[in-house]
Amino acid sequence: MSQQQPPAEAPAELRHNAIGFLDALVIGLASTSPAYSMAAVIGPVVALVGVYAPGVFLASFVPMLLIASAFYYLNRADQDCGTTFSWVTRAMGPWVGWLGGWAIAMTGVLVIGSLADVAVRFGLLALQLDGLAENTVVIRVLTVLVIVLMTAVCVLGTELSARLQDVLIIAQVVALLVFAVVAIVRGLGGDAVEGGGLTPEWSWLNPFGAGGAALTGGLLLGVFIYWGWESAVNLTEETKDSASAPGRAAIVSTVLLLVTYLAVAYAVLVFSGTGYLEANAGEEEFIFALLAGDVLGGWDWVLLLSVATAALASTQTTILPASRTGLSMARRHALPHGLARIHPRYRTPDVSTWWVAGIAIAWYLLVSAISENALFDSLTALSLLIAFYYALTGIACAVFYRQRLTRSAKDLLLIGVGPVVGALLLLWLLVESLADLADPANSYSGQAWLGVGPPLVIGVGIFVLGLVVMFVWRVRDGRFWQERTTTAERLESDIAAGRSAAAVEDPAP
């Protein structure tokens, strides 16, 4: 007598409704690491454009907002944690979609180690452990431990990740606001550094004030400070009201970032003027460490802690989109299927998450062993990957919704013209950055790799590696490239894969 077989267990899914709109908004903000981002670029931008730095930040915001609109509308049609990978695949085919997913995953690998390194250094400075902050071995060991710890938090649950981000973003924003207010009051009160005490003017918001060439260089830096807001959309499958909340969080986060960056830029200019920032432009993210004592006196640890918490928060939130993209690609057989595993208890992509962390640690140790400047060069290479996958998303939005573009002026502007204009702006910056990064003199190392600047070698090298991996995987497992791509067939495939089909607002291309 045969025994009845127990029913097969349903495949584990990501935890639905784990976070809400505010949690998604906080994660989007934290992913950009506002304090760290501003510390890293304010000096170089002022060196390029002087008092027109706020104008450059305003101009950099425009393509980000236009691409955020694309994320919003594409997410309404397809709540897939792979975001750009999934959307571009549906709109433009598997080859381009795969490369978009690769770019997202690799940005995480490039930046996670650097973020953790900054979190450690500024944390030690805030604790007045300056000696340890200069000890290379201590920094590297603690950086690896931070990455492991933040990865463990990501694996233990999206809710835990969101709660930690709530605390970190509050500490970061409060510290930035305290710094901005004190800097403006002291600057206007005649207690600024030599050359400071500038009176704020509306003309500082003019991005063209310093000329075209300076604007181009400033925009390349400005795009970096907004990058990361789309992390909220990578958690779409785990967010309440997944069809609209993640997209709204992405748009709102870009606006809040703009306000924050403009306030801090005005405060720094009023207190320090342009001379101080130009003289210390090479200090990169340590400019805030230099200003902290001048502005806050004995309370300088507040700003140092702000940068540390910003980098710590971004270390964690940068792991999220890379791991979710890996999950989405593996779920569609575009990468090894083992990366699609979801922990049955914590309902997070544990295998994909740990792989991202492991590769990021290896990259950090390898590049930092070459030199600290090489580590900064790897961050500069981020601009290539960021511009690439953001531009793909903007174009994919117009292609996917092409039949809706003539229905109303709103659809034409928000779904078609806006995202395409944002994509074209980013592609222009991509071309400009290729020319700029080809000159070794524009790198932190100042040395040539293969006859060009190290950032260009790193960026192009990662792209070429992606092409190799893609072709090799296509030969080994071609199922992803053989997918049927009509909307109805795709939704049926989603359901068969164990994921619920979310409500779709007129998705048919």
Band of residue 100 on the pLDDT scale cut at 50, 70, 90: very high
Q: Which residues contact 115 (CB under 8 A, 6 or more apart)?
A: 33, 36, 311, 312, 314, 315, 318
Write the pLDDT tens digit of every residue in 456-479. Answer: 898 899 999 999 999 999 999 999
Q: In 3D, which of 459, 42, 17 has the Cα closest to residue 224?
A: 42
Q: Which two tokens stand for residue 225?
A: 């400070």
Q: Averaging pLDDT over each range in 78-87, 107-116, 182-191, which range is the top one?
A: 78-87
Buried b (16+ CB within 10 A) or exposed e, 366-387: ebbeeeebbbbbbbbbbbbbbb
Q: CA–CA separation, 48 vs 214, rounded Å?
A: 5
pLDDT score, position 422: 94
Average of per-residue pLDDT across 72-84:
91
Residue 421: pLDDT above 90?
Answer: yes
Q: Which two tokens stand for residue 9?
A: 């267990």
Residue 491: pLDDT above 70?
Answer: no
Domains located in the chain, CATH noted: 21-93+109-338+345-372 (1.20.1740.10)
Band of residue 4 on the pLDDT scale cut at 50, 70, 90: very low
Q: In 3D, which of 473, 494, 355, 380 has the Cα closest to residue 434?
A: 380
216 compared with 139, residue with greater pLDDT: 139
pLDDT score, position 324: 92
SS3 376: helix
Write the pLDDT tens digit of every residue in 292-322. Answer: 666 666 666 777 777 788 788 888 888 988 9
Write the pLDDT tens digit of every residue in 378-407. Answer: 777 887 888 899 999 999 999 999 888 988
In contact, 252 and 64? CB cutoff 8 Å: no
Q: Which two tokens stand for residue 276?
A: 């101080």
Q: What is the reported pTM? A: 0.85
SS3 19: strand
pLDDT score, position 286: 60
Q: CA–CA separation, 29 vs 435, rounded Å?
A: 31
Band of residue 6 on the pLDDT scale cut at 50, 70, 90: very low
Sign of the dihedral defined by the CA atoms of residues 204, 206, 209, 211, in that order: positive
Q: Which two tokens stand for residue 239?
A: 């967010």
pLDDT score, position 501: 33
Average of per-residue pLDDT across 495-504:
37
Q: CA–CA separation, 403 vs 1, rounded Å?
A: 59
Which of 90-94, 258-262, 323-327 is predicted least confidently?
Answer: 258-262
Q: Which two tokens stand for residue 250?
A: 């992405």
Q: Count CB atoms within 10 A of the CB of residue 5.
A: 6
Q: CA–CA separation, 24 vs 32, rounded Å?
A: 13
SS3 239: strand
Q: In 3D, which of 70, 105, 96 has the Cα closest to residue 398?
A: 70
Mean pLDDT of the chain: 81
Q: Count CB atoms within 10 A of the CB of residue 141.
A: 12
Q: CA–CA separation, 125 vs 162, rounded Å?
A: 26
pLDDT score, position 298: 64
Residue 354: pLDDT above 90?
Answer: yes
pLDDT score, position 331: 92
Band of residue 355 on the pLDDT scale cut at 50, 70, 90: very high
Write the pLDDT tens digit of every residue in 150-207. Answer: 999 888 877 776 677 777 777 777 777 777 888 888 888 777 666 667 788 898 998 8
Write the pLDDT tens digit of every residue in 22-70. Answer: 888 888 887 777 877 777 777 777 777 888 889 989 988 899 899 999 9
Residue 499: pLDDT above 60?
Answer: no
Q: CA–CA separation, 188 vs 266, rounded Å?
A: 12
Q: Give first-to-last CA distance, the chain, whole Å.
A: 54
Which letter does DSSP use for residue 335 in this model?
Answer: S
Q: CA–CA separation, 509 vs 506, rounded Å?
A: 9
Q: Averaging pLDDT over each range in 211-215, 225-229, 411-415, 484-488, which range is the top one?
A: 411-415
